[in-house]
Chain A
């Protein structure tokens, strides 16, 4: 049976933007009333539309709040009367391809029978595919929420052109993959009593990228299998598995060279930070100790799942990073002392981290005070201060995320998953009389490794740290442009993600920062002190190769020439 095809993330993008606008309008209405300011009438708004005043700077209003109100109302109006999408990324693609809108994720061809894959027009397929490419690459349009027009944004325009090039060069492959995904998503959803074939364009574009890198053609004999494998690799990192199961993509060599924050580098750093906290918790040492005890026949189990997993872990040990290699990685990426002493550590990370976490925390506290007093009092930290702190940190992480970081991240997350699986088996838990894996860690560390660590503390640091790094990666373009970095409305309304480590909201970021500061026992006066902006350290956006002769010369006078030429 043929079903209509629904592009679920296109629908979700539109709904998200609509929710933002609705929330902001409600807040503006309340604020305008409280401030005894007039709420612009429908007539005034229509006058603006009739006069063609469709950019924020031309709108009527005595105050910026009123102008913002009119802008948002116009956006709502354009959506309902002219079917103009609110999701700016989608709107940009739609303007470029000339396709019609995709209401609720259904393109025009999928709204009435006959529908299905064969009815999709070339423009619709291209629009959906390019939307997937853009969201996969983290592209966004930098414009205030209330801006009614689709502004020209150089970075987005470049991303749009790149998406066109990628799609058109591989149109056959994209269409062949879509056909497979339609089968995979058959009857995945319903509208009324009608089943739908659901497609996520982000996954589609991610699979296409993998297959393009493998030189797979549209007519490849094993295309269905390859699509299934690639799909499996994406979906394995769902909500239920280890938080470090992140979707990491190799950085594109053709990315805009002016972008100093490479999103993929940050994803790699997220996994490495997560791993470093588990290292502090002695998770890896506990696993190695279990293997050692298992080999010595001390653990009271043999044949069974626990034995299988430990044996498998032992057999693969030569493929994994050694402890020294891991410590070297943490030193290089985050400056944590350890490993081989002679390397170029990331000396700036810790200060930049503290400054960003403190800035977010201070900002949140200010927002809370504003809510209580129902007034805006001058904040100790502004959105620009937040942007600077976030940008400095993200650029630093991006710089140190080049090279081996991505590969190490994938290897470490695999290892963490293996370890967690071992520790969660009943064989292992019962051997130590433990009720969960963390009790096993505590027991083994106490009995065999000279002392347990505070597992709650390091688990919290791992998870909150991963959320913070992920948020930075997801907001790379906002950090490099204008507009608000943190949406105060989202924070006030407590909007949280189901899985903050892969899709954090602004509220998740704030909570993560507060938790991180709480578990590390950072005093309030230090938070206030670090939230104040300081001059950023000198750093290049990419690693600079310094000739050996110059490096020797610099080192002879005590200057370490390493990453970033420092």
Chain B
């Protein structure tokens, strides 16, 4: 097992999950990229060194309520030994390759226009990871594709005017925000360009009120607080380093995304998923979709699908808060795989003896 590239594990799991969810197989679209991105075996410690999912092979499945059965995941392209610029180029090339034949030339033009600052050799200094690449699949095939580019404060000028206005509103209302990355997503008839900030210091949820007021989202704040309060066992005060805040332009108006890194919270309830399910009990279709999604990533030999690393809540002026989850699949855990490999070697040695 030691020599098998992690790509095989990732591809197998994604294919199995796609089959389980009844959606198109991602390996038909990005099999080559996965091969290039996970050339090392899962037992190799270098695989764990990544910015997307430290300790795991960086292929992160994501779930969104309201999507139905959709397989969505983000990867950090090209493995641990690549440079951030190469990773950025690869993610860009891959998205352009997929978008043109699937969504048409207008979608490609949209992406090219929005990604100009990050496409060439500009802004290549001080990069850490470069870029991540995401895709989503439904029963008809590729549903959307996105690239997340590392963002520095001096690159905010390169954002389109409408998004820059949202950014100014956010940083005026919450000066503790510092830009982290920008994501450009392209779907058949829509594009979405957003910016994600890291919130420095602790955050009380009602501190979001001035910002949500400026964005015309104040009426959604109670809904956001309800989801957070319910799933985190009554916690409304988020510690330093646990909050990411995303802003994006959508046809419905500005979108606010609150992402909570569960690993940074000291007291995530054991029954986190049960509490989340409780919140979704009024929307049984979404609850069933969540259960199917978790099952899709549960190993055949039982156990849990993995660890939920981020709880994300999105809202727009016309959309009530919706939950999204980021999963760290147990099968992609580097340490676990190493232990299993060592056990297998020990067993083989014993058998030989």
Chain A interface (Cβ < 8 Å from any Cβ of B)? 277, 280, 331, 335-338, 340-342, 345, 347, 350-351, 354, 453-454, 458, 461, 520-523, 526, 530, 534, 556-560
**Cβ of B35 and Cβ of A521 under 8 Å apart?**
no
**Cβ of A453 and Cβ of B122 under 8 Å apart?**
yes
List, in ascending order, chain B residues with CB within 8 A of A453's CB.
122
Interface residues of B in 83-142 (CB under 8 A from A): 83, 85-86, 89-90, 92-93, 96-97, 99-101, 108, 112, 119-122, 124-126
**Cβ of A557 and Cβ of B100 under 8 Å apart?**
no
- Please, how many angstroms separate the alpha-carbon atoms of A354 and B89 in the complex? 14
**Chain A residue with the shortest CB-CB distance to B112:** A338
**Cβ of B93 and Cβ of A337 under 8 Å apart?**
yes
**Cβ of B97 and Cβ of A342 under 8 Å apart?**
yes
**Cβ of A558 and Cβ of B35 under 8 Å apart?**
yes
Check A520/B124 contact, CB under 8 A, given A337-B119, A350-B85, A351-B83. Answer: yes
List, in ascending order, chain B residues with CB within 8 A of A458's CB.
121
- B27 contacts the other chain (CB 8 A): yes
**Cβ of B83 and Cβ of A354 under 8 Å apart?**
yes
Q: How far is the CB of B33 from chain A (nearest CB, A)?
A: 7
**Cβ of A534 and Cβ of B81 under 8 Å apart?**
yes
Q: A335-B89, A557-B31 are in contact. List 13 more A-B contacts (CB 8 A).
A: A335-B93, A337-B93, A337-B119, A340-B100, A341-B99, A350-B85, A453-B122, A523-B125, A558-B27, A558-B30, A558-B31, A559-B31, A560-B32
From A277, A521, A526, A558, B32 is in contact (CB under 8 Å) with A558
List, in ascending order, chain B residues with CB within 8 A of A331's CB.
93
**Cβ of A521 and Cβ of B86 under 8 Å apart?**
no
Check A341/B100 contact, CB under 8 A, given A335-B89, A351-B83. Answer: yes
- Please, how many angstroms separate the alpha-carbon atoms of A170 and B78 in the complex? 52
- B155 contacts the other chain (CB 8 A): no
Q: How far is the CB of B106 from chain A (nearest CB, A)?
A: 14
From B30, B31, B121, A336 is in contact (CB under 8 Å) with B121
Check A280/B122 contact, CB under 8 A, given A350-B85, A558-B29, A558-B35. Answer: yes
**Chain B residue with the shortest CB-CB distance to A554:** B32
**Cβ of B121 and Cβ of A521 under 8 Å apart?**
no
List, in ascending order, chain A residues with CB within 8 A of B108's CB.
341
Chain B interface (Cβ < 8 Å from any Cβ of A)? 27-36, 81-83, 85-86, 89-90, 92-93, 96-97, 99-101, 108, 112, 119-122, 124-126
- Please, how many angstroms separate the alpha-carbon atoms of A520 and B122 in the complex? 8
**Cβ of B36 and Cβ of A347 under 8 Å apart?**
yes
**Chain A residue with the shortest CB-CB distance to B158:** A451
**Cβ of B89 and Cβ of A521 under 8 Å apart?**
no
**Chain B residue with the shortest CB-CB distance to A280:** B120
List, in ascending order, chain B residues with CB within 8 A of A335's CB.
86, 89, 93
**Cβ of B85 and Cβ of A354 under 8 Å apart?**
yes
- Ranked nearest first, the 3 interchain pairs of A and B with the lowest CB-CB distance are A521-B125, A558-B31, A558-B32
- Please, how many angstroms separate the alpha-carbon atoms of A59 and B28 in the complex? 65
**Cβ of B86 and Cβ of A351 under 8 Å apart?**
yes
Q: How far is the CB of B30 from chain A (nearest CB, A)?
A: 7
From B33, B81, B93, B122, A345 is in contact (CB under 8 Å) with B93
- Please, how many angstroms separate the alpha-carbon atoms of A463 and B313 in the complex? 49
**Cβ of B32 and Cβ of A337 under 8 Å apart?**
no
* Interface secondary structure of A, over-half rule: loop
**Cβ of B119 and Cβ of A520 under 8 Å apart?**
no
List, in ascending order, chain B residues with CB within 8 A of A351's CB.
81-83, 86
**Cβ of B125 and Cβ of A277 under 8 Å apart?**
no
- Please, how many angstroms separate the alpha-carbon atoms of A523 and B152 in the complex? 15
**Cβ of B36 and Cβ of A522 under 8 Å apart?**
no
List, in ascending order, chain B residues with CB within 8 A of A342's CB.
97, 100-101
- Please, how many angstroms separate the alpha-carbon atoms of A350 and B121 in the complex? 10
**Cβ of A338 and Cβ of B126 under 8 Å apart?**
no
- Please, how many angstroms separate the alpha-carbon atoms of A350 and B125 in the complex? 14
**Cβ of A559 and Cβ of B32 under 8 Å apart?**
yes
Q: How far is the CB of A162 from chain B (nearest CB, A)?
A: 38
List, in ascending order, chain B residues with CB within 8 A of A347's CB.
36, 86, 89-90, 93
Task: List 10 contacting pairs A-B, 8 Å CB cutoff, sorted by A.
Answer: A280-B122, A341-B96, A341-B97, A345-B93, A453-B122, A458-B121, A522-B124, A558-B30, A559-B32, A559-B35
- Please, how many angstroms separate the alpha-carbon atoms of A522 and B85 in the complex? 11
Q: How far is the CB of A353 from chain B (nearest CB, A)?
A: 9
Q: How far is the CB of A394 from chain B (nearest CB, A)?
A: 18
Q: How far is the CB of B189 from chain A (nearest CB, A)?
A: 19
Interface centre among B34, B89, B126, by most chain A C-beta atoms within 10 angstroms, is: B89
List, in ascending order, chain B residues with CB within 8 A of A337's CB.
89, 92-93, 96, 119-120
List, in ascending order, chain B residues with CB within 8 A of A354's CB.
83, 85-86
- Please, how many angstroms separate the alpha-carbon atoms of A527 and B90 in the complex? 21
List, in ascending order, chain B residues with CB within 8 A of A526's CB.
83
**Chain A residue with the shortest CB-CB distance to B33:** A558
**Cβ of A558 and Cβ of B92 under 8 Å apart?**
no
- Please, how many angstroms separate the alpha-carbon atoms of A137 and B125 in the complex? 38
**Chain B residue with the shortest CB-CB distance to A556:** B28
**Cβ of B96 and Cβ of A522 under 8 Å apart?**
no
From A280, A558, A560, B121 is in contact (CB under 8 Å) with A280
**Cβ of A461 and Cβ of B121 under 8 Å apart?**
yes
List, in ascending order, chain A residues with CB within 8 A of B126's CB.
521, 523
Q: How far is the CB of A490 from chain B (nearest CB, A)?
A: 29
**Chain B residue with the shortest CB-CB distance to A535:** B81
List, in ascending order, chain B residues with CB within 8 A of A557's CB.
27, 31
Q: How far is the CB of A546 from chain B (nearest CB, A)?
A: 15
Check A336/B89 contact, CB under 8 A, given A341-B99, A453-B122, A523-B126. Answer: yes
List, in ascending order, chain B residues with CB within 8 A of A530's CB.
83
List, in ascending order, chain A residues with CB within 8 A of B122's CB.
280, 453-454
- Please, how many angstroms separate the alpha-carbon atoms of A458 and B82 in the complex? 23
**Cβ of A521 and Cβ of B97 under 8 Å apart?**
no
- Please, how many angstroms separate the alpha-carbon atoms of A410 and B255 in the complex? 50
Check A350/B89 contact, CB under 8 A, given A280-B121, A521-B126. Answer: yes
Q: How far is the CB of B281 from chain A (nearest CB, A)?
A: 40
List, in ascending order, chain A residues with CB within 8 A of B85's CB.
350, 354
- Please, how many angstroms separate the alpha-carbon atoms of A520 and B97 in the complex? 27
Q: How far is the CB of A277 from chain B (nearest CB, A)?
A: 7
Q: How far is the CB of A45 from chain B (nearest CB, A)?
A: 50
Interface centre among B27, B33, B93, B99, by most chain A C-beta atoms within 10 angstroms, is: B93
List, in ascending order, chain A residues with CB within 8 A of B34's CB.
558
Interface centre among A340, A341, A454, by most chain B C-beta atoms within 10 angstroms, is: A341
